[in-house]
Structure 1
């Protein structure tokens, strides 16, 4: 929504991200994600221009929740919750209004971002029943800024079988005393689907790696058994790592 649609760029990924649970309204389960790709040589200039835009979002009190992530692959995810596909109209209406205000203020984002980046859009659905938060759902927080998104590209028609295995993972974690949590997002509208994005969060890469090693040490046999069941439903997979950017995010509960 830099100009008329890039106010929020990603992946996915998924986490890909979610809002903090509240009593009302209900937890959002759908998200539009803009993935923005920046050449490493342009990254310094992009950061400068993007900060200018962020300052204008705040100046004009843009009242849309935006969760922003920088990946280690020189891209950015801008994630916005929507109620449904109809919510896109509301989102782009507000974006257009914001763009008009920015131009009236003398800022032409089309010129500023020319040649700096390219984007693609994805709509994700949070798979509540396949995500795991034993102590209650929590949103993206500033104390767990490190994120890993694992993209699971499923074989066509294998979603139900893959979900059945994931539920076995949940059942097993319910039976042990471990602290691992995750979110799963499915690609509702995007590229190379069916695709799930599994999102993990931690304070930093070291903490996430330590937890992973502990789990493998204590539960390697069961994990191997479950993985053999799950992997037969996957075409390919890839991992993206990165960080939540609270200063480039808008209108979220900070914890």
Structure 2
């Protein structure tokens, strides 16, 4: 969606483990007080943990992440899978699929704590906490109805670890209209047989404000730019018109660039 950035430019010209456990406990309390929160059964939701890593600590952060994965593998940690992305600003995202809000209250690391012992376990998280001053958690939900992947909706884009994230912030009064406009854009992509695929996520619990997030995978920055140019030409004036209408609904737009880091993810053995 290189066209997203072009429209934006046009518009402009005109702590340690105890802290983690405390966060989980607070989340559980909030969940009890908000019974109306729910996750769609038709769309996959993800628990995102974001670490804003200091520039001088990124190598240390990645090393402790690998040491943690090694420990999880050694002790065969079950029921705990995550993937990791790195944004160019130094933020690392740990992305964990969840079935429902109750998953947030599960202590899936308890078996690892028992097998490693308290001292070694806490040592790893102490090393993590030395790498950043800010971190947090939130939920996003993958929307299959709005996503465009004609060969099948999947997060595993092998050989395409480059990522472009387009954040479409919207006020409550325009939320439904924006959803409809994204659907119209998807339909145009399908009609034209566009080769630029995208996944749409919707913000959820833990975020300030509402946004839709378009995520595009590519081999690298050059491939993303080339595909974006080809897609813009393919969609033509009809595409420009739809994107202009979509941007008129936004409260704010921003884009971020980064990569998936398979070496920092973990998949439990079955």
Query: In the alignment, is the contact (CA less than 8 A) between 2:157 and 2:217 conserved in 1?
Result: no
Answering whether residue 202 of structure 2 is matched by residue 186 of structure 1, we say yes
Q: 1:200 aligns with which of 216, 225, 240?
A: 216
Partner of 1:42: 57
SS, match of residue 227 in structure 2? helix
Deviation at 1:247, TM superposition (A): 1.4
CA distance in 2, matches of 1:100, 1:28: 34
Partner of 2:247: 231
Higher Rg of the two aligned structures: 2
State which drifts further: 182-191 or 109-118.
109-118
Answering whether residue 131 of structure 2 is matched by residue 116 of structure 1, we say yes
CA distance in 1, matches of 2:243, 2:268: 35
Partner of 1:66: 82
SS, match of residue 128 in structure 1? strand
CA distance in 2, matches of 1:116, 1:149: 24
CA distance in 2, matches of 1:238, 1:119: 20
SS, match of residue 108 in structure 2? helix
Deviation at 1:137, TM superposition (A): 1.6
Partner of 2:113: 99
Q: 1:76 aligns with which of 92, 109, 113?
A: 92
Q: Deviations over 1:179-231 (max 9, x none)?
A: 12111111111222211111110111111110001111232311210012111
Structure 1 segments of 4+ aligned residues over 6 angstroms from their partners: none
CA distance in 2, matches of 1:218, 1:133: 17
Answering whether residue 68 of structure 2 is matched by residue 53 of structure 1, we say yes
CA distance in 2, matches of 1:226, 1:149: 19
Q: 1:2 to 1:217 in 2, by over 3 A?
A: farther
CA distance in 1, matches of 2:109, 2:257: 28
Q: 1:27 to 1:248 in 2, by over 3 A?
A: farther
CA distance in 2, matches of 1:149, 1:102: 37
Q: Which has the higher helix share?
A: 2
Q: 2:155 aligns with which of 121, 132, 139?
A: 139
Q: 1:114 to 1:215 in 2, by over 3 A?
A: closer
- The number of residues matched between the two structures is 232
SS, match of residue 73 in structure 1? coil
CA distance in 2, matches of 1:195, 1:129: 16
* CA RMSD between the two structures: 2.3
Answering whether residue 169 of structure 2 is matched by residue 169 of structure 1, we say no
CA distance in 2, matches of 1:106, 1:171: 53
Q: Deviations over 1:135-159 (max 9, x none)?
A: 2222223311111111111122211
CA distance in 2, matches of 1:82, 1:95: 15
SS, match of residue 152 in structure 1? strand
Q: 1:2 to 1:181 in 2, by over 3 A?
A: farther
CA distance in 2, matches of 1:150, 1:142: 21
